[in-house]
Amino acid sequence: MPPITRHAAAALLIALLVGPAAPAASAASAAVVPARIHLDLSRIATGLSKPLLVADAGDGSGRLFVVEQTGAIRIIKAGKVLPAPFLDLGASVSGGNEQGLLGLAFHPAYRSNGKLYVSYTDRAGTSIIREYRVSSSNPDRVDGASGRTLLRLRQPYANHNGGNIVFGPDGYLYIGFGDGGSAGDPGNRAQDLGTLLGKLLRIDVDRRTGTLPYGIPGSNPFVGRAGLDQIWAYGLRNPWRWSFDRATGDLWIGDVGQDTWEEVDRAPATHGRNAGRGLNFGWRTMEASHCYAPPSGCSRTGKTPPLTEYRHANGRCSITGGFVYRGAKYPDLVGAYLFADYCSGEIWYVDRGAARGSAPRLALDTDALITSFGQDRAGELYLTDGSGSVYRLTDA
């Protein structure tokens, strides 16, 4: 494993990032105190095949489920990776740099109904959302015959698939898709309300609407008006990991930029719900808070700018969104949203109540290829290294 090192020039990093730091106190927690944040990583698993997600089933078992991009879901149980996969879709998923098994979400009632959902690109490159049930005889195996396809979305190119899936505070399944790929969103799909590409969707997996294998909540913003009923938010390029703050319901999105800027989007909830409803996050008109198409003089009307952004500099290239920390082990970190850059291995944080335009602060510099963060039932954080390892975030 490459050594995990600390950054020797945090001040230079902040100078390269956007705007002055302006953390603010929030209703859910006091402002994070930067001087008290001292993070490190502890490796808990290795030898995995392109891991890119860590999840908890919420069933109290203490197991961690690791998604491998090559098609399998592995279980870390009692500190060891079980030899048999929880689910193996290796024969069904496509390869490629941005394709494969991309998402996993456990039903909020998983303990009683055993349902889980996966997101992947099939052999033709089509995005698939599929439901499974755990085996009735073995809690460490999925019943492969239980599969039910909920949604299929043709991808025009092999990149910008998105693929993250998360159950929201309202119990609905949220699905994030990228703009369909190539570069610069040539079809302006992220702004087109007639396609699911470049969107965050919201569906009800426990009901059906018409002939659909899922339900469409009547409170979705485009029900009864122009736009596809499944759409919850739009204007996204490639939302590579997004999450809901488990304490407030706020929505946080790490949206990958084109050539110059990476962004973190924050959408506050109202009474713990409806974060991001109907919002336009700006792509491709905007890349973060900057004009992209056209390159100058673009209209910002009706578009939600990012909370923070950073430039492609010093090897940075692609944001990996994370979580607002809500664990108990590191009180000084509570209320901090953590995210990373895939290429540089740097982990940053910003206070959840920070003013828009605030600069994130460096938490830790690593040599990891950080493909995702994960959260266990207690709110402690993990990350996956694309070279094959899973780490727990610890206090230095």
**Residue pLDDT, tens place only, 147-159:** 999 999 999 999 9
The strand order across the sheet containing 261-267 reads: 239-244, 251-255, 261-267, 308-311
Given a cut of 80, is residue 6 above it in pLDDT? no
Pick the closest to residue 40 from 333, 241, 311 (CA basis).
333
The reported pLDDT for the residue numbered 32 is 81
What's the pLDDT at 25?
Answer: 35
Going by pLDDT thresholds of 50, 70 and 90, the confidence category of residue 70 is: very high
Max Cα distance, the chain (Å): 62
How far from the centroid of its chain's Cα atoms is residue 323's Cα?
A: 9
Higher pLDDT, 21 or 328: 328
Residue 135 clears pLDDT 70, i.e. is over it: yes
CA 339 vs CA 36, 129, 390: distances in Å: 18, 25, 16
> Measuring CA to CA, which residue among 13, 117, 105 is closest to residue 375?
105
Please report which confidence band the pLDDT of residue 372 belongs to, taking 50, 70 and 90 as the band edges.
Answer: very high
186: number of Cβ within 10 Å: 14
| Span of 9-13, 174-178, 346-350 with lowest mean pLDDT | 9-13
pLDDT at 298 over 60: yes
Is the pLDDT reported for residue 5 higher than 70? no
What pLDDT shows up at residue 30? 63
Gap between the Cα atoms of 49 and 150, Å rounded: 27
Mean pLDDT over 236-249 rounds to 98
Point out the least confidently predicted range of 242-246, 293-297, 331-335: 331-335
Residue 228 pLDDT > 90, yes or no? yes
How many other CB atoms are there within 10 angstroms of residue 158's CB atom? 16
Angle at 38 between CA 34 and CA 44, to 5 degrees: 140
Angle at 324 between CA 347 and CA 393, to 5 degrees: 50
Whether the predicted pLDDT of 141 surpasses 60 = yes
* Residue range 77-94: mean pLDDT, rounded: 97
Q: How many CB atoms lie within 10 A of CB 235?
A: 23
Ordered by start, the domain boundaries in the chain are 10-395
User: Phi and psi of 384, rounded to 5°?
Assistant: -105, 140
8-35 pLDDT per residue, tens = 333 333 333 433 333 333 445 567 877 6
The average confidence (pLDDT) of the chain is: 92
10-395 maps to which CATH number?
2.120.10.30
Angstrom distances, CA of residue 136 to CA of 60, 140, 198: 17, 10, 37
Q: Decide: residue 355, CB within 10 A, 0-12 exposed, 13-18 middle, 19+ buried.
A: middle
Give helix then strand counts, H and E, for the chain: 2, 27
Which tens digit of pLDDT belongs to each residue from 44-59?
Answer: 999 999 999 999 999 9
Banded model confidence at residue 37, pLDDT cuts 50, 70, 90: confident
